[in-house]
C-alpha cells in the first residue's frame, strides 16, 4: 500500500505516507485527522480502513473539494482510538 499525504503547495509533489508513522500518531492521540492526496487510489484507502478497523479503531473517510475543478480534491481520514 503506497499512500501520499496531501500537497501543501500547488506545484509540489505529495510526500509519501509511512504506515508506521501513521500508527505512531494514532497511539499518541485519541483522535487524528490526515489529509491524503488525490493521487491515492480509493482501493488503497479502503485497505487502510480495513487495517485500522481490524485493530478496533473507528475510521471515517470523505472527499474534500477545495476548488471548482473536478481534480481539486483530497481525502480526509479521521481515525479514532
Instruction: State the cell numbers at 74.
Output: 483530497
**Overall average pLDDT of the 4-29 stretch:** 91
pLDDT of residue 67: 87
Helix residue spans in the chain (DSSP H): 19-28, 42-54
Q: What pTM does this model have? A: 0.89
Q: What percentage of the chain exceeds 70 in pLDDT?
A: 100
Helix (H, G, I), strand (E, B) or coil at 73: strand
- pLDDT confidence tier of residue 79, bands split at 50, 70 and 90: very high
User: How many residues appear in the chain?
Assistant: 81
Q: Mean pLDDT for the chain?
A: 93
Amino acid at each position: 500500500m503506497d499512500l501520499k499525504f496531501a500537497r501543501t503547495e500547488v506545484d509540489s509533489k505529495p510526500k509519501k505516507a509511512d504506515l508506521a508513522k501513521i500508527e505512531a500518531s494514532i497511539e499518541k492521540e485519541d483522535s487524528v485527522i490526515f489529509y491524503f492526496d488525490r493521487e491515492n487510489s480509493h482501493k488503497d484507502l479502503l485497505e487502510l480502513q480495513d487495517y485500522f478497523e481490524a485493530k478496533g479503531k473507528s475510521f471515517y473517510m470523505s472527499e474534500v473539494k477545495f476548488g471548482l475543478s473536478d481534480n481539486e480534491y483530497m481525502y480526509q481520514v479521521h481515525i479514532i482510538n
